[in-house]
Amino acid sequence: MNDSSGRHTVGVVGLGYVGLPLALAFAREGDEVVGLDVDPRKVEQIRAGESFIEDVSGSELADVVSQGLLSATTNYDDLTRVDAVVICVPTPLTRNRQPDLGPVLDSAASLSRVLRRDQVVVLESTTYPGTTRERLVPLLEESGLAAGRDFHVAFSPERVDPGRSDFTLRNTVKILGGLTPECSARAKQLYDRVCDNVMVVSTTEAAEMSKLLENIFRSVNIALVNELAVLCDRMGIDIWEVIDAASTKPFGFMRFDPGPGMGGHCLPVDPFYLAWRAREFDFYTEFIELAGKINQNMPYFCVDKIERVLNDHGKPVNGSRILLLGVSYKPGVGDLRESPALKIIKLLGARGADLVYHDPHVPSLREPPLESVPFEPELEAADLVVIVTAHPELDYRRVASDARLVLDFRGVTRGIDSGNLVRL
């Protein structure tokens, strides 16, 4: 599987938030990495040593590219010579919120045409239990090779948290499950290069389910505090004070904060993957699906709250200048995937708001076509400033002091006493 120096040749399919950092990690260890993406723009940027992912340093990327440790391509033929292929493509939902395995299946079909004996194929894309065995393997076996005998297959869920530096690929436990014990052993040998601790579970299905459990756990608990936030809003109780008080209990309680909705690829998507799969077993995950519905409804609640706050100050939404602070899905990054801010923007636009936004990590939006406005003049000019994503570099005391009216959906103004300030 590797040369006499112990180095591997690794292919990474899908060069986004998961794939590009993984490719860089292998290249750092001296492995030769072939990155593949269907987007030729990404391929050209990588060849030029230009990073389009915030967690990947442009200088470090340029360094491994110049050393010949990382190359980029759109051609699956370039994967014939690698020892292992890791698939890191998106697993979105359809319009009807059903699993869309198109990118995974397309990758598997293309890979089957170049697959060779003794290669290791690992799927990292989050998906429902059974995908690796029932959907990926049959397509790979169209190569004429048998999984578990002629080549090795495993599932190892990504655990990327964009913008985080304390827990990385290196020091976060890596879960994997192989089709056979030998498949697991070969996949573990691969990941031992870039991960300090690799945990092998008994099956691919156990590995697939573990990822869903991680994310559904968060989804359900966030839904709980979001529902309580809506109730507290109606009852006139400060939800942030309630959570702060409950958090003093040193056992039996874990803090989760409410907000305008969930974003990123995982939390808004993964529960629906499991719910869809469960129905094939005549099982209905009512609790999980209800949590998803509550979280999906939060942008609508937030827009209603915006309307009420403006109305309390004698202004309609229609024609009012509304400044949104933060449009990415989480603080400190520019990731827009499933960001609740996008839904809020759409809903406010439909109600006639004069809408602008400021986000130091997102210079522009495609739909609707908006550009981030300067912080200084807009803060005082807006009829209402809405804190949607609490980027750490923004001065929220200044927001509270300079803005005419502030609505905080993230609780970052706790401790600030101001008559122009309203919190979720």
Supply the residues annotated as catalytic: 266
CA dihedral sign, ordered 6, 56, 339, 364: negative
Rounded to whole angstroms, what are the CA distances from 299 to 108, 162, 243, 302, 320? 36, 22, 21, 5, 19
Q: Which of 69, 78, 76 is nearest to 46 (CA)?
A: 69
3-state SS, 87-135, equals ECCCCCECCCCCECCHHHHHHHHHHHCCCCCCCEEEECCCCCCCHHHHH
Helices (H) and strands (E) in the chain, counts: 14, 15
Structure tokens that stand for 154 in this block: 């495993």
SS3 (DSSP) at 395: coil
Beta strand 364-365 pairing with 370-371: antiparallel
CA atoms of 354 and 318, how far apart (whole Å): 7
Query: What's the 3-state SS for 132-193?
Result: HHHHHHHHHHHHCCCECCCEEEEECCCCCCCCCCCCCCCCCCEEEEECCHHHHHHHHHHHCC
* DSSP per-residue codes, 54-90: TTS-HHHHHHHHHTTSEEEES-GGGGTT-SEEEE---
First CA to last CA distance, the chain: 55
**C-alpha span between 28 and 386 (Å, rounded):** 42
C-alpha to C-alpha distance for 129 and 105, rounded to whole angstroms: 15
Contacts of 147 (CB under 8 A, 6+ apart): 137, 140, 141, 153, 179, 183
By three-state DSSP, how is residue 283 classified?
coil
Output the CA torsion sign for 124, 127, 129, 130: negative
Query: How far is it, in rounded angstroms, from Cα 160 to Cα 174?
Result: 11
Three-class SS state of 247:
coil
